[in-house]
Structure 1
């Protein structure tokens, strides 16, 4: 049976899902050729090796009439979460012995840290939104974050980064009462094939969304706590559990202890029961992927599957985009191998 390849994107502005699907597939093809799988590329780009889908939810962050922060930097609660996220990411980058920093990068990171967490009584500390925008302005000079902002303003970049906080704050209900995070997961769930094997490739915020979606489909809900392989409330899912032989995560923020981990459901973090293998890739210059060794804190599922984290090193400052990761032979190689094996079953 032809496997389904489901791409789950991360933060960002409005996008053309068809164009992004084409870009991500071309990036995988490039990486696959470099990994020595050139003969298999035509099957991927031609569509006979996998049924590729792009789970797009970016428009939900701009839905007219939704409650919440819209497309700006967010309300105070969102901004506080974003400040926590950036602060821990900065601290991890400063403390990483395997990623030496230049003097200029060190100064920028330390200055951003002071902006995010000013000492008591400091003048001009300002509201959370102001602290976040000021820190992002500083961080846009640092590799890994510059990739997120590009030519955009610090305020726009802060708004995009704030999408992580908006998802995790479980707010912004629509007219039916469905919160933003629930509507986003529904988009991803609709792309999964309940009948055949799925290979899920998730990037950035999409790694959180994909993890929660797979748990939710398995158990019927993503909320609550519980042990790996068991429903948080003991109730079976009303939806057929998809088979996911391979989950690939790229530039994931799941390792951020203060702002992300406590808010991800279920808690503590665990591998979804449907996942047969989990590969997690990170770049040392990707500040979003703070604490990238997910296997140190993600609990195994019933078949003992935990993430296997692997470092990749991209050239230049633009390291966070999904296409940058997918063009890496270390990422594309095992992805194409898995798709080929599933297609030949």
Structure 2
């Protein structure tokens, strides 16, 4: 694909919005969170743990998950955002004993895990207005929308929280969208994410012509990975098509891990080749 790599065949754009989060994305937003906000991070972790407890890979994983769950939902009263945040960090630290999350060379830490989940929480809170009163989630969607072509077909590849952002943004997009690809999406989380997304009930955006959703068994961030079970078809009958992949390594959630898989990169390249040059 020399033409694609040189930029001659496609206008490739990356919508970055990490700087919009409280603290400019430099540290977990939950550090100074109110109790209700910190609880939302715990809720995300708790749901992820419960999803994996349904079908643990082995007895060791089940023991680690049960210990993390006990840290997330201890008996007795817990007061204040600090206590709630400590529960999240302690549980995340416990979860790092799982093979796909085990820390090697400082590549992953409990703080990073909580930070990632804290960004999901911050977006779905629909708060943190700027000087003009525009909430964080609206500012993020506006930045993504600016990178979409209005007159030319667009292929959208979204990862993690970006899958939630893309889903909501594309409901307002009127351009042609032959393919949406989602990687490591948390959209299937039944209580912490799915019911807080907009618009409800969840339905494939009208202009999406095809949707491929990729998930890895060792990706702790995904909840219910089969999005076709929780997202209704659009008027054209398009549903998400979920495909499992198996990556190697200690931390399979990054987008680069997904895109390194031929089964993921192949459909993206085919769709880009089919899009007329801008």
Provide the TM-score with structure 2 as the length reference. Answer: 0.90
Q: Of residues 211, 214, 235 in structure 1, which corresponds to 2:170?
A: 214
Is 1:60 aligned to residue 11 of structure 2?
Answer: no
Stretches of structure 1 that go unaligned for 5 or more consecutive residues are: 1-40, 219-240
Is 1:270 aligned to residue 203 of structure 2?
Answer: yes
Is 1:107 aligned to residue 63 of structure 2?
Answer: yes
Q: Of residues 260, 265, 268 in structure 1, which corresponds to 2:193?
A: 260
- The residue number in structure 1 matching 2:37 is 78
Which of 136-145 and 272-281 deviates more? 136-145
Q: How does 1:1-345 map to 2 (within 5 A)?
A: 41-62=1-22, 70=29, 72=31, 74-96=33-55, 101-120=57-76, 127-146=83-102, 150-151=106-107, 153-215=109-171, 217-218=172-173, 241-343=174-276
Which of 170-179 and 76-85 deviates more? 76-85
Q: How many angstroms apart in 1 are the aligned matches of 2:101 and 2:230?
A: 25
Q: Please report the RMSD computed on the Cα atoms of aligned residues, expressed in angstroms.
A: 2.4
Stretches of structure 2 that go unaligned for 5 or more consecutive residues are: none
Per-residue CA deviation, residues 137-190 of structure 1 (Å, 9 max, x unaligned), is: 111222444589954542343123211000000011010001111111111000
Per-residue CA deviation, residues 298-324 of structure 1 (Å, 9 max, x unaligned), is: 011110111000000001222111000
Alpha-carbon distance change, 243 to 63 in structure 1, aligned in 2, over 3 angstroms: farther
Which is bigger in relative contact order (C-alpha 8 A, separation at least 6)?
1
Q: How many angstroms apart in 1 are the aligned matches of 2:32 and 2:223?
A: 21
1:243 is displaced (CA, Å) by: 1.2
SS of equivalent to 1:44: helix
1:72 is displaced (CA, Å) by: 3.0
Q: How many angstroms apart in 2 are the aligned matches of 1:50 and 1:148?
A: 37
Q: How many angstroms apart in 1 are the aligned matches of 2:68 and 2:270?
A: 42
Q: How many angstroms apart in 2 are the aligned matches of 1:112 and 1:322?
A: 26
Per-residue CA deviation, residues 186-231 of structure 1 (Å, 9 max, x unaligned), is: 110000000100000000000000001111x24xxxxxxxxxxxxx
Which of 106-115 and 280-289 deviates more? 106-115
Provide the TM-score with structure 1 as the length reference. Answer: 0.74
Is the CA contact (8 Å cut-off) linking 2:30 and 2:38 kept in structure 1? no
1:247 is displaced (CA, Å) by: 0.2
The number of equivalent residue pairs is: 273
